[in-house]
Amino acid sequence: MGQPRFSQDDLRRAFGTFLTGVTVVTTRDGAGTPCGMTANSFTSVSLDPPLVLVCIGKRSSNIDAFRATASFAVNILGQDQAGVAAVFASRGADRFAGVDCREVATGAPILEDCLSWFDCRLHQRVDAGDHLILIGEVQEFGVSLSEPLGFCGGRFISLGEAARHRVEA
């Protein structure tokens, strides 16, 4: 294969023009310790069966836990949770110190006060370049009417307009 005609930095910036929400993906390692990281690669995949996916970087400090896990949860963050997103993206931070969590179906940590959440049993693991794609089958989910946190161009943004549209729809 030839060399790509673009740099990874330019490609990352181009990917970053895609406006997304922000999630914290959680699981437990082999010892039962909670693990989690901020991720905007969440995608809804299928209604029947109910599937979602998230992409986990292979260089993540949590990769071993995510590689081995049989379950994970996707916690979608609300507009006032940029601080939570920052903590769960920071190396060395005690990520779970400032959040309250509970277990629902699988035991993966569900963050209290998030916008919505999906508690998933692992459906399929796909090796994809420098990321691992986790496809999960939703076992339980919860939704609130708070406004979503957005991410675009490397910045957290407010999506109040989108939330109003959602409530009216």
Ligand X SMILES: Cc1cc2nc3c(=O)[nH]c(=O)nc-3n(C[C@H](O)[C@H](O)[C@H](O)COP(=O)(O)O)c2cc1C
CB of 107 to ligand X, least distance (A): 20
Stretch 142-161 residues interacting with ligand X (CB under 6 A): 151
Pick the closer one to ligand X by CB: 5 or 91: 91
Q: Which of 43, 61, 124, 144 binds ligand X (CB under 6 A)?
A: 61
Q: Which stretch binds ligand X (CB under 6 A): 58-66, 73-81, 112-120, 121-129?
A: 58-66
Q: Does 60 bind ligand X (CB under 6 A)?
A: yes
Q: Could you tell me whether strands 43-46 and 34-39 are parallel, antiparallel, or unpaired per DSSP bridges?
A: unpaired
Element (H, E) at 8: helix 8-15
Which 3 state secondary structure label does DSSP give 61? Answer: coil
Strands across the sheet containing 43-46 = 34-39, 23-28, 71-76, 116-128, 131-143, 51-57, 43-46
**Binding interface with ligand X (CB under 6 A):** 22, 37-41, 55-57, 60-62, 85, 89, 91, 151
